[in-house]
Amino acid sequence: MTDRQPESTAARIEPLATLPLFHKLVGRKVVLVGGSEGALWKAELLAATGAELHVFCEGKDALFAGLALSEVGGRVHVHSRAWQADDLTEAAIAVADLDDADSVRAFVAAARQAGVPVNIVDKPEHCDFAFGALVNRSPLIVAISTDGAAPVFGQAIRTRIETLLPAGLKNWAQAAADWRPAVQARELPFALRRAFWELFTGKAMAEPQRIPSLDDATELFAKLSRIEAGHDGKGRVTLVGAGPGDPELLTLKAIRALQSADIILYDDLVSPGVLELARREAKRMLVGKTGYGPSVKQGDINGLIVSLAGQGKHVVRLKGGDPGIFGRAGEEIDACHAAGIPVAIVPGISAAQGAAASLGLSLTHRDHARRLQFVTGHSRNGELPDDLDWHAMADPAASTVIYMARATLPGFRERAIAAGLDPQTPAVAMLSATRPDEKRVAATIAELPERLGELPANGPVLVLLGHAFGPALSAANATEDRRRA
Active site residues: 267, 289
Picking from 316, 225, 214, the residue whose alpha carbon sits closest to that of residue 263 is 316
d(CA 121, CA 362): 54
Tell whether the torsion through CA atoms of 88, 92, 97 and 99 is positive or negative: positive
Beta bridge mates, 263? 283, 315
**Total length of the chain:** 485
Angle between helices 298-310 and 329-338 (to 10 degrees): 40
Q: Is 224 exposed, middle or buried (0-12, 13-18, 19+ CB in 10 A)?
A: buried
Q: What is the dihedral of CA 108, 109, 111, 115, to 10 degrees?
A: 130
CA gap 251, 346 in Å, rounded: 8
Helix (H) or strand (E) holding 119: strand 118-120
Phi and psi at 8, nearest 5°, equal -95, 75
CA distance 284 to 204: 29
Number of H helices, E strands in the chain: 16, 17
Residues 6+ apart with CB under 8 A from 151: 133
Dihedrals φ, ψ of 326, to 5°?
50, 35
Please report which helix (H) or strand (E) contains residue 465, including its range.
strand 462-465
CA distance 436 to 442: 18
Bridge partner list, 401: 374, 464
DSSP state of 77: E
Q: How far is residue 468 from each of residues 122, 170, 264, 396, measured CA to CA in Å? A: 57, 53, 37, 10
The DSSP string of 132-179 is PEEEEETTEEEEE--TTS-HHHHHHHHHHHHHHS-TTHHHHHHHHHHH
CA distance 180 to 425: 65
Taking the C-alpha atoms of residue 193 and residue 190, their distance in angstroms, rounded to an integer, is 5
CA distances from 421 to 12, 392, 393, 394 (A): 48, 9, 7, 4
Coil, helix or strand for 288? coil
